[in-house]
Structure 1
Amino acid sequence: MCLIIKKPPGRRIAADFLENAWQHNHHGWGWFYQDKAQGRVVWERGLRLQDMLDHNARLPLDTEVYLHLRRATHGDVNHDMAHPFVVHPGLLLMHNGSIAHLAPHNTAISDTAELARMLRDMLAGLDQNQVAGLIRTQGFQALTAPLIDGSMVVLMDGQGPVRLGRAWHTVQREQWHDAMVGIEVSNSHTWCQNVAALA
């Protein structure tokens, strides 16, 4: 089970929150955001905690950014299995959850890599505008719901994010200190600790 964090404009993700989340999700990290001026997605991924913390400190303050911390349930732990995955030129994917029915026969590949491959095949032959329109339809949500199976998927292209699957969890005051209150995350069980333990 992984963790996706949605950094809103004007906020930073607290380093202590990331360090704590890393203890439970330490098999890779990645982020992406929409560069509105250029109409494209900016992204990065890696495997080391310090690199993630350094990148986090440099993320644009005025932009919504999605950060992913991986906890491998299927597939090897390496740079290629860290999220995000390229699904189509200009379209990337992050996933939180475990999709056992998509676990490939090749145990080096993750269920998310398999999901990205399936979506890549589904969208092959379409141009970026067609893909952008399709992923924002109710039909696409209905078609992908059985694949996602209760997980959360965030797609990002030059037009912005698309969330599929389950809803966000909002960090509450009793779950973390003020720096993170109100920030949305994909779950509470891979990072949550009692705020009293922070004292």
Structure 2
Amino acid sequence: MSDKRLPLYTSSELKSGHDTDKSCWVTLYNRKIYDVTQFLDEHPGGDDIILEYGGKDVTKAMADPDSHSHSESSYEMLNESMLIGYLATKEEELELLSDGNTGRRVEVVQDTIDLTEFGEVPTEELLSVRTDYNHDYEKHKFLDLTKPLLWQVMTSNWTREFYLDQVHRPRHYGKGSAPLFGNFLEPLSLTPCLDSYRIFNA
């Protein structure tokens, strides 16, 4: 078990300038604060949905199946990489303001590895562990990464809930870009950058 200390923020700090694409913070359960700025471009539902809640609580929005239902892995991703602090309660806020102690921190106990404790750097192989394609497809029945993706997507009959759950599960292809067409059209899917990467990393 490891712990880390995260700062408390007042409600005015949360709402002050953190509702734009330059800095976007949201809360869950009116307590945990997340900096989702870097995630705006990656959000499958588009950045406008998140920006609408900049500086606000997203608990109901994330649980609403009619707008954009989220899987358990979405919440895990928020806690693992975007949690930056906690929204002070009214009592804590009064204490912070009266003491002028805006740097007060909350100790959080978690069952994950403490990434602030530096040790031996992992090997390159461990830093880029690619997805086991066969196991992933057998388990989730989503996309077979060994086959062209476009036809699989066009002929799919996934439900909305299944699709949203799957796109929130990161997969590391590990060898350039996954095949889209699988025939003579494949070069059209490559940008010059990706093409150069493939040449120099072949």
- Larger Rg: 1 or 2? 2
TM-score (norm 2): 0.24
TM-score (norm 1): 0.25
From the two aligned structures, give the one with the greater strand fraction.
1
From the two aligned structures, give the one with the greater helix fraction.
2
